[in-house]
Amino acid sequence: AEGKLVDILAQRESHSRDGLSNPQQPEVADEKDEGVENLRHRVQVLNNEITERIANAKRVLGNSRPSAGMEPGPAALDSTAVSAAATRLSGDGDQGAVLGGAERTILIELIETSREVAVEAEGLEPQLSAAEEAVRKTAADTESTQREADAKRERLAESIAALKMQDDEAQEDLEQVSESLAAAKRKIDEERSALLGISSKLAERKNIFQEEEEVEKQAKDRLAEAETDAKDLGDREKKAEAAVKSLEDLHMMPPRGDADLWQENAEFEQLESEIAAGRVAEQSVFDSLQREAEIQGDVEKEAEVRTQEVEDLENALRGLQTDSLKVADAAKTDATAEETAVEGLHRELRDATNSRNTARGTLDTAREGASESGAAETELAETLENL
């Protein structure tokens, strides 16, 4: 019974140790249930207690007299000896020997302890079986979970590798696009700089052309004004001569009205209106040319053409400028002569005014002298009205 009990306990201990401390499942050993630990501890305590009692029994029986067919000493104590001692204790068997009081007491305690341990071991067997089954199930679940985690880890590593490859490809594409954009931007900047240079040159040429055209126009205007002034002076000279002649004939001159001044102002306003209209027309023509050049989209070619035209115009304008300077000098000379003539005309007009006043005085004297003659007075009155 002692040997059977020891074997059972050793087997349970081995099974518990294999199930709870499997080196192939370190995760299971880390997750042992508290109930399994408690059962293992209780089995170990019982095992130690039985081992201690058997050792004590062996020690006591070894010091007693040997039975027939057995070697004396502690080494002779085994399960057969214990069974024989139990038989002798019960009074059965061939020998029928009666044990001493100490032996009897030890064997009774050993048998009782063995029975108690056997009963408790049988009660713990379902719990140990359930604990072993739970441990095996936990180990299987852990292994399945570990396999799934490994599979997920492998799939995740493959996905990360694919994403990294796609990211590298996208980075290369982005770098190529960035280089293309930078090259296009440089080209646009170069074309913009070239267009700005052409526009600046055109604006400069346009300003020069406008200035020279303005100078030419001013020269023409001055020439036209000089011709008009000369013509007016001629007309005025003729009028002055006629007035002088009339004064010589009649010794008086009628007062000059404002009709001539209004006419001159009207002529000047008309001339200014024509000049303004000419400027507007010229600007409109230039704007139309500029819009056509922009629509065609060939700014460089148009710039070359315009540059050549401007150069030709510059040459022509230089000639016109020289001619204008000559005309201006001549106009200045003529203007000086006209101013002198006008001053002479003013003097003549002042003299004529004085003569008219003298004639009026003479007429008044004649009117007073002819007061006695009605016919003479009537004639003088009619003559005065006519004058």
Torsion of CA 186, 190, 196, 199, to 10 degrees: -140
Domain that holds residue 140: 2-154
Structure tokens at 238: 């003729």
Q: Write out the DSSP string of 252-313.
A: --PPP-SHHHHHHHHHHHHHHHHHHHHHHHHHHHHHHHHHHHHHHT-HHHHHHHHHHHHHHH
Number of domains in the chain: 2
Looking at per-residue pLDDT, the higher value among 130 and 59 belongs to 130
Looking at 154, 180, 215, the residue that finishes a domain is: 154
Residue 253 lies in a domain: yes
Residue 178 lies in a domain: no
Give helix then strand counts, H and E, for the chain: 8, 0
Identify the CA nearest to 348 among candidates 189, 230, 236, 231. Answer: 236
Amino acid at the residue 303: A
On whether both 139 and 214 belong to a single domain, the answer is: no
Residue 188 lies in a domain: no
Amino acid at the residue 353: T
On whether both 132 and 203 belong to a single domain, the answer is: no
Structure tokens at 8: 């059972």
Q: Write out the DSSP string of 177-243.
A: HHHHHHHHHHHHHHHHHHHHHHHHHHHHHHHHHHHHHHHHHHHHHHHHHHHHHHHHHHHHHHHHHHH
pLDDT tens sequence across 249-277: 544 444 445 565 566 567 667 766 766 66
Q: Write out the DSSP string of 339-366.
A: HHHHHHHHHHHHHHHHHHHHHHHHHHHH
- Model confidence at 72: pLDDT above 50: no
Q: What is the pLDDT of residue 387?
A: 56
Is 0.75 surpassed by the pTM of this model?
Answer: no
Dihedral sign, CA of 251, 257, 259, 263? positive
pLDDT tens sequence across 93-125: 444 344 456 556 666 766 676 677 667 667 767
On whether both 143 and 236 belong to a single domain, the answer is: no
On whether both 64 and 208 belong to a single domain, the answer is: no
CA 355 to the chain's CA centroid: 93
